[in-house]
């Protein structure tokens, strides 16, 4: 984005970035909720989902938001009120911070950050803090259990996620997300460059581990025990209602979108098309129209990945807390370590 708006004053640049960030967070969140939560889930359960608000219920989300905004701002009597009110904002802020490093096109980015992968993984764990204090501040036993489970789970799955990404970083030789996209699309498979070299092919194990970890980070079924509506009522969100619940709700689906974006950058080639198609050689030689097409490609890839996330969510029962930890520490982490080993050996070999 810097490339596009370099000529205008700094305050205007900042404003545009904030607006762009809001669009990049809310638009995927709204689309995901409508397409997957309202419609796909309903179709999988042989029903139609919301049909009354707008054509095919497309305005249902606005109706829901309107409903939530009208509700009384309730908090428990014994709650630690300041922290209680902070928690949803912390969770949401992690989503906004995350989207800041996501490149949408050759020049369409908010920040082109050298250690982008590192930053993204670090920032994504800020939401743990929000969940933990939401659980603690609610003064509710179910919330407390949910918050503790959430903290344990998110920290446990942070590790395989990081380790899965290391494989990509080794292969791309960079931690800059933009460079990772370029490396994939400029790459070639044994000399054939018709598809570039999307890392889902070479890093397939890493991709699977990353997606499982994303599923857990998003607390989607089968890893939704921090919420676990049949056990803990609603986990750390039990006492939240109205506007504050809305923030949790938005951040849940917005984060799903942002993680899918990051996964598509790391493994599916991000905004790019294979450079050989148009005879590009480096990032500077890319035509300007990619700044418009790039976000659309990203959006398509994001929807594809979120489809998988949601499909799994609507089909599976959930693990138990100890089984989840065992799965993370005994299966995913060793597997990702082996993956890193193999990647570095092959990297040196080729």
Partner 1 sequence: MTMLGDRQQLAYIASQAADARVNVELETEGMTLNIGPQHPATHGTLRIIARLDGEQVVWAEPSCGYMHRGYEKLTEVRTFPQVTALVNRIDWLGSFANEVPFILAAEQLMGIEAPPRAQWIRTILFELSRIANVSLVLGDLGVQLGAITPVFFAFRDREYVLNLIEGATGGRFHPNFDRIGGLKDDLPAGFIDETRAVMRKMRKFCDEIEGLLFGNEIFEARTRGIGVIPRDVALQYGLSGANLRGSGVDWDLRRDQKLPMAWDKVDWKVWTHPDGDSYARCWIRLQEVRESTLIVEKLLDSLPSGPVMAKVPRIIKVPEGEAWVSTENPLGEMGYYVVSKGELGPFRVKIRSASFNNISIVPWLLKGVYVPDIITILASLYFILGDIDR
Partner 2 sequence: MAKVPGLLKGLGVTLGTMVETVKKGANTVQYPHEKETPPIRARGVIALHEGNCTSCMLCARSCPDWCIYIEGHKELAPPRRAGGKPRQVNKLDRFDIDYALCMYCGICVEVCPFDALFWSPEYEYSEPRIADLLHDKAKLGEWMETVPEAPDLEAGAEKKGKK
Contact residues toward partner 1 (CB under 8 A) are: 41, 44-47, 141-142, 145, 221-222, 224-225, 228-233, 314-323
Judged by CB, which is closer to partner 1: 142, or 299? 142
Q: Which of 75, 314 has the CB closer to partner 2?
A: 314
**Which residue in the set 16, 26, 51, 233 belongs to the binding site for partner 2 (CB under 8 A)?**
51
Residue 55 binds partner 2 (CB under 8 A): no
Partner from partner 2, partner 1, none contacting 173, C-beta within 5 to 8 A by type: none
**d(C-alpha 18, C-alpha 152), whole Å:** 32
Binding to partner 2 by residue 83, rule CB under 8 A? no
Question: Angle at Cα 17 formed by Cα 26 and Cα 7, nearest 5°?
Answer: 150
C-alpha atoms less than 13 angstroms from C-alpha of 192 in its C-beta half-sphere:
3
244 binds, among partner 1, partner 2, none (CB under 5 to 8 A by kind): none
Nearest-approach distance from CB 139 to partner 2, in angstroms? 37
Residue 48 touching partner 2 (CB under 8 A) = yes
Closest by CA position to 237, among listed 250, 255, 222: 250
Among partner 1, partner 2, none, residue 300 binds (CB under 5-8 Å by kind): none
Q: How far is the CB of 46 from partner 1 (least distance, A)?
A: 6
DSSP 139: T
DSSP string, 148-205: HHHHHHHHHHHHHHHHHHHHHHHHHT---HHHHHHHHHH--BTTB-TT---HHHHTHH
**What's the maximum distance between 2 C-alpha atoms anywhere in the chain?**
67
224 is in the binding site of which of partner 1, partner 2, none (Cβ under 5 to 8 A by kind)? partner 1
- Per-residue x/- marks for partner 2, 305-334, CB under 8 A? ------xx-xxx------------------
Binding of partner 2 by 300 (CB under 8 A): no
Q: How many CA atoms lie within 13 A of 272 on its CB side?
A: 33
CA distance 309 to 293: 24
Query: Which residues contact partner 2 (rule: CB under 8 A)?
Result: 40, 42-48, 51, 311-312, 314-316
């Amino acid at each position: 984005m810097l490339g596009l708006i370099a000529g205008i004053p700094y305050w205007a640049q900042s404003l545009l970035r904030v607006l762009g960030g809001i669009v990049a967070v809310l638009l995927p969140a709204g689309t995901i909720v409508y397409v997957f939560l309202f419609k796909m889930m309903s179709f999988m359960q042989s029903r139609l989902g919301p049909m009354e608000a707008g054509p095919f219920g497309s305005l249902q989300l606005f109706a829901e938001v309107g409903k939530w905004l009208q509700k009384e701002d309730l908090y428990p009597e014994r709650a630690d009120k300041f922290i209680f009110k902070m928690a949803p904002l912390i969770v949401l802020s992690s989503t906004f911070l995350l989207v800041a490093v996501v490149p949408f096109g050759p020049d369409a980015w908010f920040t082109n950050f050298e250690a982008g992968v590192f930053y993204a993984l670090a920032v994504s764990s800020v939401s743990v803090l929000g969940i933990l204090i939401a659980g603690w501040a609610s003064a509710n036993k179910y919330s407390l259990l949910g918050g503790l489970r959430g903290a344990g789970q998110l920290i446990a799955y942070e590790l395989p996620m990081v380790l899965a990404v290391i494989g990509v970083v080794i292969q791309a030789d960079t931690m800059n997300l933009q460079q990772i996209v370029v490396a994939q699309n400029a790459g070639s498979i044994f000399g054939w460059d018709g598809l570039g070299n999307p890392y889902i092919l070479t890093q397939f194990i890493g991709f699977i581990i990353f997606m499982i970890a994303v599923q857990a980070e998003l607390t989607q079924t089968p890893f939704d025990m921090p919420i676990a509506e049949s056990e803990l009522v609603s986990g750390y969100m039990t006492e939240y209602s109205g506007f504050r619940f809305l923030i949790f709700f938005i951040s849940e689906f917005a984060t799903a979108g942002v993680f899918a974006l990051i996964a598509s950058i790391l493994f599916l080639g991000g905004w790019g098309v294979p450079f050989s198609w148009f005879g590009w050689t480096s990032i500077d030689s890319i035509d300007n129209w990619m700044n418009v097409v790039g976000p659309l490609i990203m959006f398509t890839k994001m929807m594809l990945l979120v489809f998988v996330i949601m499909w799994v969510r609507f089909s599976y029962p959930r693990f138990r807390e100890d089984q989840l930890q065992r799965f993370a520490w005994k299966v995913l982490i060793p597997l990702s370590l082996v993956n890193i080993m193999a990647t570095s050996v092959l990297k040196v070999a080729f």
